[in-house]
A and B are shown apart, each in its own frame.
Chain A
Amino acid sequence: MFVAKSIAADHKDLIHDVSYDFHGRRMATCSSDQSVKVWDKGDDGEWRCTASWKTHSGSVWRVTWAHPEFGQVLASCSFDRTAAVWEEIVGESNDKQRGQSHWIKRTTLVDSRTSVTDVKFAPKHMGLMLTTCSADGVVRIYEAPDVMNLSQWSLQHEISCKLSCSCISWNPSSSRAHPPMIAVGSDDSNVTYSGKVQIYEYNENTRKYAKAETLMTVTDPVHDITFAPNLGRSFHVLAIATKDVRIFKLVPLRRESANSSGPTKFEVQVMAQFDSHNSQVWRVSWNITSTLLASSGDDGCVRLWKANYMDNWKCTGILRGDGSPVNGSGHAAALSAVGVPGAAQMLVGATSAGRYVTVLSLKTYPIPKHNYNYLICYQ
């Protein structure tokens, strides 16, 4: 059901993050060796490293792509307390022949006093905005007012979360009914503030972000968090990687009066909770249409979750992170999933275990006639 392709990433240390670009044809990896590598998928389906360069003076925790409308732009964040924005420039023709490209640093964001643990671009309808979160519990939102000039960024918001932050996710919805919303996860072991996921919402009137919700039932350290694509629904779906996989449904409640200020109130429902990994879950990732969730954990496996038409979630596949029977070595930690249409294979994700990147793709095989449900599920 799946085909695994292992790529020797050539990073000299652990790989912490892997990220697909918008179209699934490029990939970026980052590592404790302080560098970022960019990979391009050729017409022959093979991944080739087209750039590799030192980005920080400490371990690089995350790397992420901007929307291609802004060009070929990457952001990285590191233990060295900084986040950086990189742009690819078209090189000399002999570079092109050698299949190499150059990335130059456009800006360094130095506002954090501690390790910067996550960096994400906001949805493109908000303009060119970058968000970071740090171990000191501060979420920072930056904006580049001139999208043609990537060296000018201004710090627009600082959100103090009181807990050491480990991950952030923007609600991708561009609907007018939903103000900008960001979820922040914490891996803090503090027991006073037990809810480890906070939701902040932008208020048009105060022009500030205010806390809308804390998920009190999430009490263990959170490693990853991601909103599902919205599909024009009125409610939001959030997946969380913690000691297990959790999927929450956030239903905005109607305001009592039209003029009531303050953030939206939500009804929080648990859609699913899976402990099949039987270990820490490190990453969660949705496909494009939010019909499939992939999770990776310390058990070295990637699990796929799908809901049937009654919104019952179940596991629809288990992929070994290194493409072979689990032998306990390494964990499939970083995961980035994208479902690519028009391709014969649905790319599930690239997982990194140590210094290898495994690209997993679902091949469509004929399904035995009796297993009808499977027919629906696997696509």
Chain B
Amino acid sequence: TTEKNKYVSILLAIELIWNLCEVLFIDAAPAGSLLLHLLDWVRLHKSDVDARAREVLQSDSPAHHQSYWDVVISLVLQGRVDEARQVLSKQASLRAESSSVFKRMDVLLHTMPIFNPTGTQTLTEFDVKWRHWHEECDRCLQDNTFASNRHLETICKILVGDEDTILEQKELLSTWYHFLVTRLLFTHPTIKPPDLHYYAQVHTTSPILLSLRYCYTELKLVKNKYYLLFYFNSDKFIYLFIYFFLRVFFHLLAVDYFDHCPEFGRVYLELQIERVPLDTERKAIKVLRICEDRQMSEQVRSICKIMAKRALRNNRLGSALSWSIRAKDAAFATLISERFLQDYCNKGSFTDLDLLDNLGPAMLLSDRLTFLGKYREFHRLYGENRFSEAAKLLLSLMTAKIAPRSLWMTLLTDALPLLEQKEVIFSVDQTYELMSCLEELNSGTKDSSQTDQDEDIESTKTELLRLALARNLAMAIVKEGTIET
């Protein structure tokens, strides 16, 4: 059990340091919130205050409890001013004659500005407000407002950040870092991470850095001793690590642990990883990489599908298509390709050109996607004036049956400008093929849902095409029949 206890102490130390690392390095905290996080960190690791506070408040006469003032001061040291006020109010109700002094302290505590990172107040505004309040506290000290009560005087000195007074409370602070955080709270509440290093150095050079290194080293040790841990208490013990590290360095360590877990590691990882909220594309990609590295193909598919569906809902077709391709989801890719084509028909241009131009072999995932990619390629070739290549591609889309019948008319219409060029682009054979495509299209059953107007447009198009094709055929025959001299 001594070995067990040793590991427990290591764990507790690790948790402490990890929380700090989280605050300093991981959380992308908005400006001004570092101190709030540090306070949270301190409160998290000094929970005996709550127990003592409960004890005091639940006693018959809280104000006369021997720990009463310790509790009030501890709460102030942790920046829990509202709770401190609550406990103080027990005192105030007792002594009527000194109640004005208590009221004064209550006001000081009540008006202490606490920065709200999610609020509308800027750091500068907060700083101004805080300085005013700080001066107010200082004035109370200068005026000897709290001279009649040494406890209140102490609290006021803490509020102005008096180093000696705060140091005097070392029994209540119990740790060096608590002292540092408290002092910062009452002297420099808007501190940023780089400044923290300076403060740490000023007070003492190494503890925080040493302890970070200690933690890392210990971790390495622990990491190498996986099997020893296992040996101790089965995978449930490891489970603690898993949850714990998941919080902080998920992609670095926790997953490693899962990998080494004998029985349930993989299953736990599979179950947990699919529940990670996919807030951003970046996060999704990070999670995906973990899954792909471990050939967790079902989880990969699922995550990609979820992202694709979400993108489609928000009409981000390009994103939806990328995700479907990554999910290897042919059905969904087909659906999205159809949407792209619909969009093209409505607007006359393609969106997400980057994606469509660089599909590569992914194009083959679904027929419709292949067509979409090739069709876009046709437009690109045309835009680059590479007409004969474009013509060849366009024709192949119909003859190789890659294009859906419903789009043939659109394709043939796209051929018109190529047919109208001065130079002959479509060869004789190609022209014959185009003609047969046109006739095949017209020989099909009439679409009953077409209106008269639509029918008119259709027949006009057909006429135009027939004319253009005939003209092109004539020119092509002449060109091919001419001997080059």
Contacts and interface: CB of A to CB of B under 8 A. Distances in A.
A375 B236 CA distance: 10
B198 interface: no
B356 to A, nearest CB: 22
A231 B264 contact: yes
Interface of A: 22-25, 44, 68-72, 88-90, 124, 148, 229, 231-232, 288-289, 291, 308-309, 338, 340-344, 346, 363-367, 369, 372, 375-376, 379
Nearest to B266: A232
Given A69-B302, A289-B268, A365-B44, A342 B240 contact: no
A288 B272 contact: yes
Contacts of A363: 44
Contacts of B235: 309
Which of A72, A229, A231, A366 is the most central at the interface, judged by chain B CB atoms within 10 Å of its CB? Answer: A366
A289 B266 CA distance: 11
Contacts of A288: 271-272, 275
A379 B233 contact: no
Contact of B276 (A88, A308, A341, A367): A341
A343 B244 CA distance: 10
A1 B234 CA distance: 25
Contact of A341 (B240, B275, B315): B275
B275 A338 contact: yes
A341 B8 contact: no
B247 interface: yes
Contacts of B267: 231-232, 289
Contacts of A90: 313-315
Nearest to A23: B277
6 contacts: A23-B277, A24-B275, A291-B239, A366-B12, A379-B239, A379-B240
Contacts of A231: 264, 267-268, 271
B277 A148 contact: no
A364 B237 CA distance: 16
Taking each of A68, A291, A308, which has the highest tally of chain B beta carbons within 10 Å of its own beta carbon?
A68
Given A24-B277, A343-B247, A379-B239, 6 more contacts: A69-B302, A338-B275, A341-B246, A366-B47, A375-B11, A379-B244
Given A69-B306, A231-B267, A372-B4, A309 B276 contact: no
A133 B309 CA distance: 29
B335 interface: yes
Contact of A309 (B47, B236, B271): B236
A369 B5 contact: yes
B284 to A, nearest CB: 12
Contact of A342 (B276, B306, B335): B276
B8 A340 contact: no
- Please indicate which of the listed interface residues B5, B272, B277 has the most CB atoms of chain A within 10 Å of its own CB: B277
A124 B244 CA distance: 29
A269 B12 CA distance: 38
Nearest to A345: B247
A40 to B, nearest CB: 12
B309 A69 contact: yes
A44 to B, nearest CB: 5
A71 B306 CA distance: 7
Given A69-B305, A369-B5, A375 B240 contact: yes
B449 interface: no
Contacts of B12: 366-367, 369
Contacts of A364: 15, 244
B250 interface: yes
B278 interface: yes
Contact of A344 (B239, B247, B309): B247
Contacts of A366: 12, 15-16, 44-45, 47
Contact of B233 (A124, A338, A367, A376): A376
B282 to A, nearest CB: 14
A372 to B, nearest CB: 6
Interface in B304-320: 305-306, 309-310, 313-315
Contacts of A308: 236
A106 to B, nearest CB: 14
Contacts of B239: 291, 376, 379
A229 B271 CA distance: 9
B243 interface: yes
Given A90-B313, A341-B275, A369 B247 contact: no
A367 B5 CA distance: 12
Given A375-B8, A376-B233, A379-B244, A71 B309 contact: yes
Contacts of B118: 44
B9 interface: yes
B236 to A, nearest CB: 5
Nearest to A87: B313
Nearest to B247: A344
A90 B47 CA distance: 45
Contacts of A341: 243, 246, 250, 272-273, 275-276
Interface string B221-254: 0000000000001111101100110110010000
A173 B15 CA distance: 35
A72 B8 contact: no
Per CB-CB distance, the 9 closest pairs between chain A and chain B, nearest first, are A341-B272, A23-B277, A309-B234, A68-B306, A69-B305, A379-B240, A231-B267, A379-B243, A341-B246
A342 B279 CA distance: 12
A291 to B, nearest CB: 7
A70 B118 CA distance: 33
A376 B4 CA distance: 12
B246 to A, nearest CB: 5
B11 A148 contact: no
A372 B8 CA distance: 8
Contacts of B276: 23, 341-342
A364 to B, nearest CB: 8
Contacts of A346: 243
Contacts of A375: 8, 11, 240
Contacts of A289: 264, 267-268, 271-272
A291 B234 CA distance: 14
B209 to A, nearest CB: 22
A68 to B, nearest CB: 5
Nearest to A371: B8
Contacts of A343: 247
Nearest to A338: B275
Interface in B1-33: 4-5, 8-9, 11-12, 15-16
A266 B243 CA distance: 34
A320 B5 CA distance: 32
A71 B264 contact: no
Contacts of B314: 90
A148 B335 CA distance: 9
Contacts of A44: 118
Contacts of B306: 68-69
Interface string B315-338: 100000000000000000001000
Contacts of B271: 229, 231, 288-289
Given A291-B239, A309-B233, A72 B313 contact: yes
